Structure 1
Amino acid sequence: MMARAWSVLVVDDDFRVAGIHAEIVDAAPGFRVQGSVRTVAEARAALATNLPDLMLVDVYLPDGDGIELVRSVGVDAFVISAADEGDTVRRALHAGALGYLVKPFPQQTLSDRLDRYARFRHVLSGRRGLRQERIDQALSILHGQPAGAVVARSATEQLLLDALGEGELSAAEAAEITGVSRATAQRRLAAMATQGVVQVRLRYGSSGRPEHLYSKLA
């Protein structure tokens, strides 16, 4: 079972910076670069052809304002800029940006934001109505709030349980669907099995160690 790949449009007039951001996106599990453009006009042309799931947008572009682009297109976006003025940050958030990163930053910072975004989208997926605690969980994941360890821990387990709602999965398959590491999926699934939250059975192949398969208890 293949996980969805979240598509990302990079909007930055510095081709070196854009290339670095694109490499980070391509290296992030569950993400792919849809394209990289230098101007507002190029971004609008790309968006007219195919809407991405997420944009990474600089503020100052040769032909316009990246924040106004975010405001006008209605696509999830992180604003990434050297501009660190409070007014600019507030304007970006008011325009609908899901996050704001000040250049320069460690590559891991963007990787972490992408991981949060994938889990945020997973929690908000589906057509059914959402309970308030589910919405709060999604926002806590996205913003990495200090309530931190407990929220993240329960959020990861809930992501895995949601994945198991689609059927019996190995730890590797569950990791691919949810975007967590295989080691994390294995550890959390094993813990939930001992707690009686999920059940596990062994699948024996033609050779090697048996594989653990997990499923939700009814």
Structure 2
Amino acid sequence: MEKTWSVLVVDDDFRVAGIHAEIVEAAPGFRVQDSVRSIAEAHQVLAGTQPDLMLVDVYLPDGDGIELVRSTGIDAFILSAADEAATVRRALHAGALGYLLKPFQRQVLTERLDRYARYRHVLSGQRGLRQEKIDQALSILHGPPPGTAVSRSTTEQLLLDALGRGELSAAEAAEAAGVSRATAQRRLATMASQGVVQVRLRYGTSGRPEHLYSKLR
């Protein structure tokens, strides 16, 4: 069963909070745990079950949303009309994973939620992480903005077309794309670091584990 990510919305404007909650509920794999109007209400909710992610405004009636993010240590996006560079730096220093300026298109938040789900998927499990996994997770979370075209070489596009048929090893993808295995491994590793391709290990009865690749989007 796929993970469903719970979200706490913290915004003193009930209309705005309602819009954000609707976007969360419409995003695949997400649900709204609660929607609150103040720091005090947020702490009441957090005293029970903590969410996976918070969407927090900066200016709240009884305090600073950035300090809420800092003090809880819970994954959070700041959603605010505050556009001062110092405020943005302070939010990122406090641990916010992203900063969206209001007003924004619904698709922008939907896209950030999708990035967050894929980021958490890459950083799941109990095993130690290789550097390429860490790089992949950060690339997914902080990739190009929506609508930014990413140029793909002919070779990369051939490999992506091959992966469109299902999960493949580098050797299988190379054969399907008509390129060498070394080229396939190099290009697949690049696309994995960009958050376009997902990698998992398949352990056999002997020898080194095999890398299997599949499309993330």
Q: Same fold (TM over 0.5)?
A: yes
1:125 corresponding residue in structure 2 = 124
1:43 corresponding residue in structure 2 = 42
Residues 147 and 104 from structure 1, CA distance in 2 versus in 1: closer, same or farther, beyond 3 angstroms?
closer
2:151 and 2:36 mapped to 1: Cα distance? Answer: 37
2:165 corresponding residue in structure 1 = 190
1:149 and 1:26 mapped to 2: Cα distance? Answer: 32
Is the helix fraction higher in 1 or 2?
Answer: 1
1:97 and 1:31 mapped to 2: Cα distance? Answer: 19
1:55 and 1:85 mapped to 2: Cα distance? Answer: 21
Matched residue SS, 2:67:
helix
1:65 corresponding residue in structure 2 = 64
How far off its partner does 1:196 sit? 2.6
Q: Where do 5+ consecutive residues of structure 2 fail to align?
A: 174-201, 205-217
Tell me which stretches of 4 or more aligned residues in structure 1 moved more than 4 Å. Answer: 145-150, 191-195
The normalised TM-score by structure 1 is 0.70
2:89 and 2:121 mapped to 1: Cα distance? Answer: 27
The normalised TM-score by structure 2 is 0.71
How far off its partner does 1:114 sit? 0.1
Structure 2 residue identity aligned to 1:84: D
- Cα deviation, 1:145-165, whole Å, max 9, x if unaligned, reads 489567xxx9xx9xxxxxxxx
How far off its partner does 1:188 sit? 3.6
Structure number with the bigger relative contact order (C-alpha 8 A, sep ≥ 6) is 1
How far off its partner does 1:12 sit? 0.2
1:111 corresponding residue in structure 2 = 110
- Cα deviation, 1:105-155, whole Å, max 9, x if unaligned, reads 0000000000000000000000000000100000000001489567xxx9x
User: RMSD over aligned Cα, in angstroms?
Assistant: 2.6
Residues 1:135 and 2:110 aligned together: no
1:19 corresponding residue in structure 2 = 18
Share of identical aligned residues, percent?
A: 69
Aligned residue pairs, count: 167
